[in-house]
Amino acid sequence: MSQSMHNADRRVHRSLRRGMAVTSILIAMGLMTSAFAAPPAASGTATFQIRVIEAAKGPAAHLDPRLGTMKRDFKPFKGQFNQFKLVRQQTLRLAISQQGGVQLPTGKRFGLKMLGFTTGKVRRIRYEVQMPRTRMKRSVAPGARTLDVIRNGPKLIIISTTVR
């Protein structure tokens, strides 16, 4: 009697151990699967496309062909400026806490620091604009654009930043 109870007990233990092993394997497989299915490391980065544009007033209107898609963006400036030239273009891929930037024709630097992402329905990109006298934190929807405008003598420097 006691021998049969002992055997039954051992069977239960074996069964439990087997069950736990199978469960462990399944969990491990699940973890591996989710690891492979996870977005690449690049998901922790944001891509900033920066265009530095020089606006001037001249005898004839001129729009740099490379700025064709931005034509309507220049509408607010057209009262005083009729020439728009792309002077620099740079794409930065920044991970959280990374910094980058572009040199402006003024000699100053337009810096960016990637701060992170917001949670919620839309994963907004949070970054900081760093200029010699200005620091500004922005939360921007993927694809949204800002135009930072500064004066450079008789010209304007327009810094277009698109992030996603």
Partner 1 sequence: MTMTDEQQMLLMAFADGELTDEPEMLAEAQALMAAQAIAASAVSDMQLAKEALRLHVMSERRTADADLSMVRGRVLTKIPAPKQAQKQDVSLISRLFSWTQFFDTGQLGLAGGVAMAAVLFAVVMTQNQVTTPGERGIEATRDSVMNPGSGGTSAPVAKVQHDDDQPGVIIEDMELDGGTVMFEEGENPDEAMIIWHIQPDEGGAG
Of residues 58-87, those binding partner 1 (CB under 8 A)? 65-70, 72-73, 75-80
Least Cβ distance, residue 115 to partner 1 (angstroms)? 9
Beta carbon of residue 159, minimum distance to partner 1 (angstroms, whole number): 9
* Dihedral sign from CA coordinates of 30, 35, 36, 37: positive
d(CA 143, CA 135): 21
| Token pair of 146 as six digits | 């800002």
- Which of 5-13, 18-26, 33-41, 147-155 is the region at the interface with partner 1 (rule: CB under 8 A)? 147-155
- Backbone conformation region of residue 101, classed left if phi is above 0, alpha if psi is from -120 to 50, else beta: left
Q: Is 143 in the site for partner 1 (CB under 8 A)?
A: yes
Based on CB atoms, which residue is closest to partner 1, 7 or 139? 139
CA 122, CA 14: separation in Å to the nearest integer?
A: 50
Contacts for 141 with CB less than 8 Å, ≥ 6 apart? 122, 124, 125
Q: Is 88 in the site for partner 1 (CB under 8 A)?
A: no
Based on CB atoms, which residue is closest to partner 1, 58 or 143? 143
Residues 6 or more apart in contact with residue 39 via CB below 8 angstroms = none
Q: Which of 3, 39, 97, 121 binds partner 1 (CB under 8 A)?
A: 121
Give the C-alpha separation, 145 to 163, whole Å: 7
| Least distance (Å) between residue 125 CB and partner 1 | 10
Binding residues vs partner 1 (CB under 8 A): 49, 51, 65-70, 72-73, 75-80, 89, 104, 106-108, 110, 120-122, 124, 126, 131-153, 156-157, 160, 162, 164
